[in-house]
Amino acid sequence: MSANIVYAIIVTSLATFLSRFLGALTSEGIKETSKVFKWFNCLAYATLAALIARTIIFPAGVLVDASYYSRSIVVFLSLFVFFISKKNFVYPTIFSAISMAIINNYI
């Protein structure tokens, strides 16, 4: 293994584990019925929603190659599939991959 890559992997895993470990450590004194817990629950959901929205609207990596319109159309169509399939998670997910591959060639 190349030393630089191994160091980068170790540094990345340490940076990731730090937040997880601190979270596990500080949650020891928190009761699930407490206000702090409810607040953190809201923070977690809002943070995840922000991450997902940012990934779709301001993507990094491969998704940059797809236009804003094709990403938006795929997401809205996938949500439509999600609701008509009685909130099944798999159908819209597979649909999104296929439709993105097709739509991106036309928009």
Partner 1 sequence: MIKKNFFFKGYRSIFTHDSPAIALTCCFIAIGALFKNLGFNIQESIFSTVLTYALPGSLVMAESMLIGASLLNIFLAVWIVNARLYPMAVSLFPLMMHKSQPKWKYYFSCHFIAISAWLIMKSNYKNIPKKHRIDYWIGIGSATVSVSVIGTFLGFSFSEHLNKDMMLGLAILNPVYFLCMMIGASKTIPVTLSVLFGTILGPIIYLLSPEWSILIAGIIGGTLAYLVGEHSVS
What residues from 52 to 81 belong to the interface with partner 1 (CB under 8 A)? 52-63, 65-66, 71, 74-75, 78-79
Instruction: Establish if 3 lies at the interface with partner 1 (CB under 8 A).
Output: no
Q: What is the rounded distance in angstroms from the CA atom of residue 35 to the CA atom of residue 15? A: 28
Judged by beta carbon, residue 7 or residue 69, the one nearer partner 1 is: 7
Nearest Cα residue to 103 out of 61, 75, 62: 75
Q: What is the rounded distance in angstroms from the CA atom of residue 67 to the CA atom of residue 73? A: 10
Instruction: Establish if 31 lies at the interface with partner 1 (CB under 8 A).
Output: yes
- Among residues 11, 69, 80, 84, which is the contact residue for partner 1, using CB under 8 A? 11
